Amino acid sequence: MPFPNFIDSFATNITGATPLETNPQHQALLDAFIALQNCDRRLLTDIATAIETGKGTAQQLEACADALTERFIAGVELSRLLSVECCCAQDAEPCVPCGLDQGEECCQDPELPGSLLEACLDVFAQLGDPYAVASADLVDALRDLPGTAGNHRRYSDLTQARLAQLLAPHGMRTRDITLPDGRRRKSYQRDALLAAMGVCTSC
């Protein structure tokens, strides 16, 4: 159940308390924990059903496997949120550092990049907007970024295979290209990246 819900809001009105703005990081932690609890309940229910029937049908086994996969993902997301050092609201002004005295350095996380496509385009720009960048070079640059690239994959954990999986839904594929430095590598093309972002490359 989301917080604050009707009962909590009603209690605030009755007591005359001043409504407080929810810290987005705290809310994300609460939502992730609730999602994990829901996964646990579903997983235990599916397992109990299979035991009660005395046999594990293919459908029941598939349901258990799906529930277990969702549980893994929910656990990873909660672990990620718990590992964040700063609990400040990112848009709060002024920032009140967590556990620090006023005037000390703010503990906010560095500014997160936009979408994965935008992050890739930024790498191209930093390299002088070449027509192609080797997959290995692109991954090396992206791994320095904070945050997640997609599908709960942190930029720091990217590999060439994982990057290919994340970019495939956008229609991007590597091609064997001879780069300006003479290397022939599996590379991503800038025009393909712009096309995936909806930018006309022939105008």
pLDDT digits 0-9 by tens, 60-109: 666 677 777 777 787 777 777 777 665 444 444 444 444 444 444 444 44
Segment 10-30 shows an average pLDDT of 69
* 28-37, 50-59, 84-93, 107-116, range with greatest mean pLDDT: 28-37
Predicted local confidence at residue 201, as pLDDT: 64
Predicted local confidence at residue 148, as pLDDT: 86
The residue behind tokens 């046999």 is 55
Predicted local confidence at residue 99, as pLDDT: 40
Q: How far apart, in Å, are the Cα atoms of 11 and each of 14, 17, 62, 122? A: 5, 9, 43, 48
Rounded Cα distance, 3 and 1, in Å: 7
With a cut of 50, say whether residue 143 has pLDDT above it: yes
Task: Give the start-to-end residue ranges of the domains of the chain.
Answer: 6-83, 116-196
Instruction: State pLDDT tens for residues 119-142.
Output: 999 999 999 999 999 999 999 999
Segment 9-34 shows an average pLDDT of 70
Rounded Cα distance, 59 and 55, in Å: 11
Looking at per-residue confidence, does 2 or 23 come out higher? Answer: 23
Lowest-confidence pick of 46-50, 55-59, 96-100, 185-189: 96-100
